[in-house]
Amino acid sequence: MDYQVVRRVLDSLPALAWHCVLSPSGHIEVSAGNRVVFFDQGFFEGAWTGEYADFGFDRALGFFGSGLRLTDEGPLIVTPSFPHYSLYSHHDGERLHFSNSFSFLLAATGRDLDSQYGGYNFDLVKRVRLSQYPEETQLDQGMVGLHYVENILVRSDLSIERRGRPIPQNPFDDYASYVAFMLEHTQQLLDNARAKERPFRYTNSVCTISRGYDSAACASLVSRLGCEESLTFSSGGSLLKTGDTAKVSYVSDSGAEIAAILGLKVTELPRDAYRSKIEPLGEAEFLANRDTNEIGWVGFTDRIRDSVFFQGSWGDGMWERVRPKARLWGPPPASTDDFRLRVNAIFVHLPTINYPYLARVRRLSCSDEMRPWSVGGKYDRPIPRRLLEERGVPREAFGRQKTAIAAMFCIYGSNTLSEESRQSMKAFCDERGFDASALAIAQPMTLADNQSVVVNASQMTGFGAKRDAETPFVEFRWGVHVMRQRYQDALRAG
């Protein structure tokens, strides 16, 4: 069959957002933001570990983006190469839709969430955290397909075949070859993002840094490849659950000292600095992607925009010193899907470049070679520790206490929201008869160092809570409601 890709580029859409609809006739219509790249055999957003001119993102070990390639077998939809982000699909009875935004897919198809379905939190958060990736969830009409770490071949009858991504063999055997592997593929990614053939080149790179293991280790790598700028939050939170209570402690988490040792410039902000930068109802941009856990990056929007943005996400799963076949307890799904699309940034969760080699990385962490960099306890990551200590960072300067900068709605409740968003969510719940008790939870997001608050864990929403399959997940529903409307408005404006 001859396929024809018809593009509709809209400045009103987020720069990297796309939606495509495939018809049995071979007609493929794409609506996309102005930084989505089209080429003879398809389109993409993002960058990958390989030559730009080959457009081989479907074969790359690391693909930090998404797109479509026309192949001899048919159209191939390509997801990111790690499970922090997903793609979404829907068959409307006649045509097949795909998008890199859940809300965009709903807006383009006219579909909505099922008001009677209570399993969204289970499908989209809890199962993902257990590395059990569901293939679909419910809509008001039909289902939405969920696609993680796969290539999806679309056949002429619009049926799909989910295919795994190719994995190169024997990439590294010891610490030295592992570091060489990481540096080589990160350099490939940067070269791809900066390729002179690109219509828009991502020449700026920036990384996160803190006193924890993962972001600091990633900073130690990318600082060797020309990255000169880092971002850090002045404080973090530590959550300890004991029975029916949860203690949230506040500790200094600034990575400024480590940045100086690595030769990085640093911009430091309190983690609630996003409040002064966020747009009206802007929290919906994150809640539509399940939580506000990464909303703090809004405070750094001017530094992140148009950049390659390196983060340490998934370092806990990849680098923790555990047995090779231990269950991968992943972080919460990324809440930055729509944010990264809007600010035209390539989000690189650097530990996931070696995601297919999880067991091999864990064997390295537990090897005799790495024993001098193992400190014992539950918070023990020999690979990051060696990366940093060999760059001159003192052992006591990092990795002492597990903290997080996440501003999670499931912990802090309505304190993550502006008053306008709080009232909007309450009105949304009242109109639909949803329980709005989550809005009564309002834990302080910032306190002095070493201060803490104790909360009732059974009242916490989202991650870590005792929410059953019938919970309405109202913060997610409100976020999708707001973002679906924004995408509809953007389509009309175009």
| 194 contacts 402 by C-beta, under 8 angstroms | no
C-beta atoms surrounding 74 within 10 Å: 17
pLDDT tens series, the chain, 494 aa: 889 999 999 999 999 999 999 999 999 999 999 999 999 999 999 999 999 999 999 999 999 999 999 999 999 999 999 888 899 999 999 999 999 999 999 999 999 999 999 889 888 887 777 777 889 999 999 999 999 999 999 999 999 999 998 887 778 999 999 999 999 999 999 999 999 999 999 999 999 999 999 999 999 999 999 999 999 998 655 555 555 555 555 667 899 999 999 999 999 998 888 989 999 999 999 999 988 888 999 999 999 999 999 999 888 888 999 876 666 656 566 789 999 999 999 999 999 998 889 889 999 999 999 999 999 998 999 999 999 999 999 999 999 876 655 566 666 667 788 999 999 999 999 999 887 776 766 555 554 444 555 555 444 444 333 344 445 688 899 999 999 999 999 999 97
pLDDT of residue 465: 39
The residue among 59, 3, 68 whose CA lies nearest residue 31 is 68
Q: How many helices (H) and strands (E) does the chain have?
A: 15, 21
User: Which tokens sit at 395?
Assistant: 């052992």
pLDDT score for 469: 44
| Cα–Cα dist 489/477, whole Å | 18
Do the domain assignments include residue 414? Answer: no
Distance CA 29, CA 207 (A): 36
Give yes or no for a contact between 264 and 222, defined as CB atoms under 8 angstroms apart.
no
Distance CA 362, CA 329 (A): 14
3-class SS of residue 304: helix
pLDDT at residue 447, rounded to an integer: 45
Rounded to an integer, what distance in angstroms lies between the CA atom of residue 64 and that of residue 341? 12
In-domain check, residue 145: yes
Nearest to residue 82, comparing CAs of 318, 291, 306? 318
Task: Give the CA count within 13 Å in the CB-facing half-sphere of 59.
Answer: 7
71: tokens are 């192949």
Give the separation between CA 167 and CA 202, rounded to whole angstroms: 26
Residue recorded with tokens 């306008």: 420
170 assigned to some structural domain: no
> What pLDDT is attached to residue 122?
84
Please, are residues 277 and 271 in contact by the beta-carbon 8 Å criterion?
no
Cα dihedral 352, 355, 357, 359 in deg (nearest 10): 100
Give the pLDDT confidence of 29-48 residue by residue, as tens digits: 999 999 999 999 999 999 99
Q: Write down the pLDDT at residue 329.
A: 59
Query: 145 lies in which domain range?
Result: 4-163
Domains identified in the chain, total number: 1
Q: Does residue 390 fall inside a structural domain? A: no
Q: Do the bridges between strand 63-71 and strand 42-48 make them parallel or antiparallel, or are there none, so unpaired?
A: antiparallel
Q: What is the pLDDT of residue 109?
A: 98
Look at residue 317 in the predicted model and tell me its pLDDT.
84
Q: Is residue 137 part of a domain?
A: yes
Contact 298, 339 (CB under 8 A): yes
| pLDDT of res. 248 | 58
DSSP assignments along 461-479, one per residue: -STTS---TT---HHHHHH
For residues 213 and 218, give the distance between their C-alpha atoms in angstroms, rounded to a whole number: 9
Strand partners of residue 301: none
Residue 128: predicted pLDDT: 76
CA distance 216 to 207: 9
CA-to-CA dists, residue 265 to 215, 229, 230, 257, angstroms: 15, 5, 6, 11
Secondary structure letter of residue 421 according to DSSP: H
Amino acid letter, residue 46: G
Using CA atoms, how far apart are residues 98 and 397, in angstroms rounded to an integer? 46
Other C-beta atoms closer than 10 Å to the C-beta of 122 total 18
Please state the pTM of the whole predicted model: 0.92
Dist CA 126 CA 120 (whole Å): 9
Dihedral, CA of residue 16, residue 425, residue 292 and residue 44, to nearest 10: -10
pLDDT recorded at residue 444: 55
User: By the 8 A CB rule, do 249 and 451 touch?
Assistant: yes
Domain-embedded: residue 489: no
How many C-beta neighbours within 10 Å does residue 289 have? Answer: 28
Helix axes 175-193 and 358-365, enclosed angle (nearest 10): 140
Per the DSSP assignment, residues forming a β-bridge with 75 are: 70
Task: Output phi, psi for 273, to 5 deg.
Answer: -65, -20
* 370 found inside a domain: no
Q: What is the pLDDT of residues 254-302, one digit of tens each?
A: 999 999 999 999 999 988 889 899 999 999 999 999 888 889 999 999 9
Q: Quick check: is 424 in a domain?
A: no
